[in-house]
Amino acid sequence: MTGFLGAGKTTLINRLLRAPELADALVVVNEWGEIGLDNLLYERLAGDAILVAGGCVCCALRGDLVDALRDVLSRRDAGALPGFRRIVLETTGLAEPAPILHALIADPGLAARLALAGVTTVVDAVNASARPERARQIALADRLVVAKTDLWPQAERASRFADLCAALGGLNPIAPVLDGAAGEFTAADFLTPTGAFPAATGSAAPAAAHGVKTFVFRSAEPIDPVAFAQFLSVLGTMLGPKLLRLKGLFALAGRPETPILVDGVQHVFHASRALPRWPDADRSTRAVLIVEAAAARDAENLWAALTRAPRIDAPDLAALTDNPLAPKAGGLLG
């Protein structure tokens, strides 16, 4: 659960903790500063609240977060903590989600024991900030909750919410947007991956803000399995930390009926897994890449190479020879 300072993360978590699905949840709270207060604001309905204090969880305390999660799992195994089944991590308002997700995926022990249900970003409808941290929090979310819409004039609420949803869609076209004040959702909506992708066909134009670009790529033709493996390898190597996130469903040639789900942060990817079936009638490969703006051209080139699509705006010779997935001399990938 992330969101800029004062967005309403604690209020939303307190509300969700009342649901039976989260009756056995453990809340891990990160604070900025040496004296923690947010943990005192939680109603202790069940389980413990653990405070990770002293700095931003996405940078100075990333290691401490991993240590804290290992510790609570160990204490649960030993019976020193209640048998929680879920962990809710509330980040400081200055946190950027990518390094946090990277830490969770990259640690083998945690990756073997924890599965990410998703990133929820709370957006303050009244005090919206233009800071880069907020843009990244929105771009990396699996779902968005707009808080404090009840403070808008009632007559303007519907139109202002629609305008805000359109603006949020420019940064993150796949995350469902929920009205926190209206409350038309349940805890179950936060506990499973959304699997949402835009309904439009073709490749969407990239959306950009504050140095972040979001691409929605599609391909009607199945992807060559060898090119797919090379794509993931080169993507992480070429873009590195500029790749904020990749999320996609891929139809591979030879097995198009069982899509491959891919979810990655920076140069680290969850183990790709085959789904038993497509989640809807759409059988096309679809992927969302969120990158630093400086890496936008590389992202486009890699996708064109994967799908063997011509780059219309590239010189003829470069379009034929400048393939980032093509083997180099000696058979090594670039």
pLDDT in tens, 58-117: 555 556 788 888 988 998 999 888 888 888 888 877 777 887 888 788 888 888 898 888
The residue out of 164, 190, 216 marking a domain boundary is 190
Tokens at 303, concatenated: 């996708």
Question: Do residue 280 and residue 134 come from a single domain?
Answer: no
**Range name among 36-50, 73-87, 104-118, 169-183 with the lowest pLDDT average:** 36-50
Give the model's pLDDT for residue 334. 37
Is the pLDDT assigned to residue 122 strictly greater than 90?
Answer: yes
| 42-54 average pLDDT score | 55
Does 197 reside within a domain?
A: no
Question: Do residue 158 and residue 298 come from a single domain?
Answer: no
Burial 21-38 (b: 16+ CB within 10 A, else e): ebeebbbbbbbbeeebeb
Does 78 reside within a domain?
A: yes
Which of 100-109, 153-162, 171-180, 235-244 is modeled with the greatest confidence? 153-162
Kindly report the CATH number assigned to the domain that includes residue 185.
Answer: 3.40.50.300
The residue out of 162, 190, 218 marking a domain boundary is 190
Question: Do residue 19 and residue 150 come from a single domain?
Answer: yes
Does 148 reside within a domain?
A: yes
Does 275 reside within a domain?
A: yes
Is the pLDDT assigned to residue 36 strictly greater than 60?
Answer: no
Give the model's pLDDT for residue 202. 39
Question: Do residue 12 and residue 149 come from a single domain?
Answer: yes
Is the pLDDT assigned to residue 282 strictly greater than 50?
Answer: yes
Q: For the chain, what is the mean pLDDT? A: 78
What is the domain extent for residue 320?
204-331
Does 196 reside within a domain?
A: no
Question: Do residue 162 and residue 186 come from a single domain?
Answer: yes
Question: Do residue 18 and residue 42 come from a single domain?
Answer: yes
pLDDT band at 152 (very low <50, low <70, confident <90, very high): very high
- For helices 132-139 and 97-106, what crossing angle results, to 10°? 50
Give the model's pLDDT for residue 98. 80
**Range name among 81-95, 123-137, 275-289, 319-333 with the lowest pLDDT average:** 319-333
Question: Do residue 244 and residue 157 come from a single domain?
Answer: no
Percent of the chain residues past pLDDT 70, beyond the cut: 74
What one-character-per-residue DSSP string does 64-133 give?
Answer: HHHHHHHHHHHHHHTTSS----EEEEEPPTT--HHHHHHHHHH-HHHHHH------EEEEESSS----HH
Question: Do residue 132 and residue 157 come from a single domain?
Answer: yes
Domains in the chain: how many in total? 2
Reported pTM: 0.74
pLDDT band at 52 (very low <50, low <70, confident <90, very high): low
pLDDT digits (tens, 9 = 90+) for 306-334: 888 765 555 544 444 455 665 554 443 33
Residue with tokens 């989640």: 279
Question: Do residue 174 and residue 48 come from a single domain?
Answer: yes
Question: Do residue 129 and residue 217 come from a single domain?
Answer: no
Kindly report the CATH number assigned to the domain that includes residue 231.
Answer: 3.30.1220.10
Does 236 reside within a domain?
A: yes
What's the one-letter identity of residue 93? G
Question: Do residue 123 and residue 233 come from a single domain?
Answer: no
Is the pLDDT assigned to residue 130 strictly greater than 60?
Answer: no
Does 199 reside within a domain?
A: no
Does 195 reside within a domain?
A: no
Give the model's pLDDT for residue 214. 82
Question: Do residue 146 and residue 219 come from a single domain?
Answer: no
Q: Is 7 helix (H, G, I), strand (E, B) or coil?
A: coil
Is the pLDDT assigned to residue 226 strictly greater than 70?
Answer: yes
The residue out of 167, 190, 213 marking a domain boundary is 190
Which of 10-24, 36-50, 127-141, 299-313 is modeled with the greatest confidence? 10-24
